Amino acid sequence: MESRVAADGLGVVIFSLLLAGVLAVVPLPEWANAVRPAWVPLVLIYWVIAMPHRIGVVTGWVVGLFLDALTGAVLGQNALALSLVAYIAYVLHMRIRVFPIWQQCLSILVLVGTYELVSILVMRAVQITPWTFWYWASVAVSALVWPLVSLVMGYLRGNRVG
């Protein structure tokens, strides 16, 4: 019974989302900023898939507002994008859970791509920003990093491998 209580505790969820927020704003060299994985969407997607009964669209909205304040983005930009991604992940969580890891990576590619697309559309609605390939580099890197994120988050959640 104790392991079930620990597995459903929100402390690990909050800690991991805060850590993802820190990883999203830690200073990197200019060349590395373009290929920075989308840490917050990755962690949020993991928790929506793992705990859909506790983590969902409202969590995505709150985490998005936190990320907006943290990064100085337009208020609501990340909130809209993350709540949309959380909704899609919630609707598809039963399918994504049973996919092999390479298909999960493809799903993450689409979900993080949706996040980036909504973010870019909101940014372009309020200011003139050029479209570049580098917007999409972080989407590909996020999909490639998903197996590692999934493994670490599963360990934190209590699903030990082996």
pLDDT band at 14 (very low <50, low <70, confident <90, very high): very high
Q: Distance between CA atoms of 140 and 98, rounded to whole angstroms? A: 22
Q: What is the pLDDT of residue 1?
A: 41
* pTM metric for this prediction: 0.91
Q: What is the rounded distance in angstroms from the CA atom of residue 135 to the CA atom of residue 30?
A: 14
For residue 158, CA distances in Å to 2, 40, 114 come to: 12, 20, 29
Q: What is the pLDDT of residue 5?
A: 45
At 25-84, the pLDDT tens digits run 999 998 898 899 999 999 999 999 999 999 999 999 999 999 999 999 999 999 999 999
Q: Which residue has the higher pLDDT, 162 or 119?
A: 119
Q: What is the pLDDT of residue 8?
A: 59
For the chain, the structural domain boundaries read 2-157
Q: What's the pLDDT at 127?
A: 86
pLDDT in tens, 115-140: 999 999 999 899 877 778 888 899 99
Report d(CA 61, CA 65) in Å as an integer: 6
